[in-house]
Amino acid sequence: MPGAKLVIQSDDFGMCHSGNIGVVESFRSGILTQASVMVACPWFGEAARLAKEHQIPVGVHLMTTSEWEYFRWGPLTSGATLRAADGRFPKTIEEVRANADPNEIFDEFVAQVELFRSTGLEPEYFDCHMGVVTPEPYQEICRRYDKPFDYPIGDEAVGFDSIHMLSSQPGATKIDYMKDRMSKMDGGKHLVVAHCAVESSELRSMSAEREGQPDHLQWALEYRVTDLAALTSDDLKKAVADLGIELVSVSGL
């Protein structure tokens, strides 16, 4: 039986400088195989340059939310239903679901993809930031650009045999978690999602908590730094080789 094909992805490429450097480190010195780019974020331009410089396979991380308390970004289009009171994207998917016009979501996605393509990059795939609002705009983007979607939304999906979230695991357990998951990959195609970043004051500045979101420090700093440490560890590199896992991006499936 052929060995398992494993896509290891870092989300939020372009969100901040620390995340951009983390993606490059995990790709060049670790086992990362692709990264999802946040086009409407402040550090997108650097992410685009780094993706081309290091030949990192990339997709578009389609965005309708801006989750941090003070580090805020908004839509590229003028869609009024996509904006919170401060003019930026809402902080939660639930807010978007309650208020957004699907046609304005689609127009925003087209604007994000076209800005991505204007840098000379072409997306290998699409996925979503913080969750799918409603399937239709994502499906239509996949059809328009003839590229698959990472997560299950219908016929447009890649169709992974398993999807695992490295970032949700406690930092000290991530290497063992990955080794266990990989040991159970008996052929097929699989996805592991991470959020890599280097430790920095920039990440700490994003960690301001708000009511109902007490985990901001973990998501801003701890999860991202420990994802990077796990994916660049010699222990995981050896496990990939020992298990005969084929590391690929979506285009290599």
The whole domain housing 104 covers: 5-252
What is the reported pTM? 0.94
The CATH number linked to 75 is: 3.20.20.370
User: Could you read off the pLDDT of 79-117 as tens digits, one per residue?
Assistant: 999 999 999 999 999 999 999 999 999 999 999 999 999
Q: Which residues pair with 163 in a beta bridge?
A: 191
Element holding 182 (H helix, E strand) = helix 174-183
Would you say 20 and 47 are in contact if contact means Cβ atoms under 8 Å apart? yes
* Among 201, 190, 210, CA closest to 250: 190
Counting the structural domains of the chain, the total is 1
Burial of 53 (0-12, 13-18, 19+ CB in 10 A): exposed
In terms of Cβ atoms closer than 10 Å to its own Cβ (0-12, 13-18, 19+), residue 70 is exposed
Model pLDDT for residues 116-152, shown as the tens digit of each residue: 999 999 999 999 999 999 999 999 999 999 999 999 9
Q: SS3 sequence, 82-120?
A: HCCCCCCCCCCHHHHHHHCCHHHHHHHHHHHHHHHHHCC
Strands (E), 84-232: 126-128, 162-165, 189-194
Triad 22, 11, 96: Cα angle to 5° = 140
What type of residue is 166?
L
pLDDT tens sequence for the chain (253 residues): 468 999 999 999 999 999 999 999 999 999 999 999 999 999 999 999 999 999 999 999 999 999 998 899 999 999 999 999 999 999 999 999 999 999 999 999 999 999 999 999 999 999 999 999 999 999 999 999 999 999 999 899 999 999 999 999 999 999 999 999 999 998 999 999 999 999 999 988 887 655 555 565 567 788 999 999 999 999 999 999 999 999 999 999 9
Decide: 156 and 142 in contact? Cβ < 8 Å. yes
